[in-house]
Structure 1
């Protein structure tokens, strides 16, 4: 009866050491592979190779109000359109709005759901 107990105590002492050794070897291998991969990469660009601003200056952001295009109607009122029948293959396209004034919340509106306001009264 003592032999199985001695084997389990011995394996309980060796198993964590073996697992730790395997993990340490895996970490050393990963660092070594990382160094090899890094050596094959090109060097970072020198200051003279960095991107320059265009002669016209920095590019500015364009803000405009856009509205969705109308969804085409099916010929038969029982049929429905599939994505390949839509313009843009199902992607919603937009066009520039006639009114470029940005929409604001109504003065009498509470804002968003759960904002704590009384709502429209």
Structure 2
């Protein structure tokens, strides 16, 4: 009778060791499959550009930032509802003819709630 219990215990320990091993084999197989699939996808992609095919700086040098001042584009007053084609499609602003940028005063903090002294 004692012999039967040891056989059952031995079978359970063998099964307890096989399950994690099989799970490991499955994980390794999935990783190998992912690498294989990634290699296939990369092989279908266009090749990377060579150093001589990389973008170059234009002949006139680097492109500089262009500052454009914009001012509100007022919507005309009307007693009736305006249709979309009567309102300009440029996000409610237009280029400003004045090219001078507004500057903050000496005692102005430049932003609401920024902790500056503010204008006195």
TM-score (norm 1): 0.60
Task: After TM superposition, give the deviation of residue 49 of structure 1 in Å.
Answer: 2.3
The residue correspondences of 1:1-121 to structure 2 (distance < 5 A) are: 14=19, 21-76=25-80, 79=81, 81=82, 83=84, 86-88=87-89, 91-121=90-120
Q: Distance in 1 between matches of 2:22 and 2:98?
A: 72
Does the C-alpha gap of structure 1 residues 111 and 34 become closer, same or farther in structure 2, counting only changes over 3 Å? same
Q: Distance in 1 between matches of 2:28 and 2:68?
A: 57
TM-score (norm 2): 0.60
Q: Distance in 1 between matches of 2:27 and 2:112?
A: 52
> Does the 8 Å contact 1:68/1:92 carry over to 2?
no
How large is the RMSD of aligned CA atoms in angstroms? Answer: 3.6
Q: Secondary structure of 1:113's match?
A: coil
Q: What is the match of residue 3 of structure 2?
A: none
- Between Structure 1 and Structure 2, how many residues are aligned? 110
> Does the 8 Å contact 2:107/2:117 carry over to 1?
no
Task: After TM superposition, give the deviation of residue 35 of structure 1 in Å.
Answer: 0.8
Does the C-alpha gap of structure 1 residues 110 and 46 become closer, same or farther in structure 2, counting only changes over 3 Å? closer
Greater Rg, structure 1 or structure 2?
Answer: 2
Unaligned runs of 5+ in 1: 1-6
